[in-house]
Amino acid sequence: MTTALITGATAGIGAAFARRLAAGGTSQSVGVGSGHNLVLVARDTERLQHQATELHDLHGIEAEVLTADLATDEGIAAVEKRLGDRTHPIDLLVNNAGFGNKGRFLDVSMGDELTMLKVHCEAVLRLTSAAVTGMRERGRGGVVNVSSVAAFVPRGTYGASKAWVVQFTQGVARDLTGSGVRLMVLCPGFTRTEFHSRAGMGTDNIPNWMWLDADKLVSAALSDLARGKVVSIPDPRYKALMGAVKLAPRGLLGGLTAKTGRKYGPK
């Protein structure tokens, strides 16, 4: 049985990945079976343990708990160490941990901005490197880096950090062509999770049609991974919107995103 490691696993998109992978594999790059064993990574040990027990009881898989704060060097190093364990290899890494800051640039402290870059960029860089080193040696494996459609529009530090994730993943995927290791960046739109409430963000101005279901999103993403896609925008509505974004003047995009506010960044 293959093993997947998921960061930010206790809620939202990360929890949906955990449920889907425990129930049954869908990616050819990491094998297909009755389910994946899991390494669940987050900051809340109690929630992790409850989640691990529930997934084990439901699907008969082994679920390992790893408490780590990816805003710290110690937390990142702990996950790097687990990814580098050759005796218990990781076949699929899902870099999902992330957060939003409420407020526009200069409304948010520099400390919070730097923490965002630590989690969204440095952690993704280091964990991807730790994972693909062993995967390339074994000739198989996969990495899903969770970005956002905010990567494609001007949205301050959040959008800039997610744009970095897109470019980084595409570059590494190209460099590892032919190695047996697949990389994909997932770019969801507004998804019904704890993301906005945790940051104290309002969502009243977001139309209902723009909201995505986390479980359906993850199923579509894993199908895209199995097909070898490098960039996944797993919903026709957002694919159409991002197509329109490519044609819109940058000045217009800046005005639109300023009206909604950086605090409404999708995920």
Count of residues making up the chain? 267
Find the radius of gyration of the CA atoms of the chain. 18
User: How many Cβ atoms are within 10 Å of 99's Cβ, its own excluded?
Assistant: 17
Pairing of strands 231-232, 63-67: unpaired
CA distance 98 to 78: 17
CA distance 226 to 220: 10
- State the residue for tokens 């074994």: 138
Beta bridge partners of 146: 186
CA distance 212 to 110: 31
Which residue out of 158, 190, 195, 238 is catalytically annotated? 158
- Asked if 238 is an active-site residue, the reply is no
- The closest alpha carbon to 50, from 90, 101, 11, belongs to 11
Is residue 101 within 8 Å of 262, Cβ to Cβ?
yes
Residues carrying an active site annotation: 158
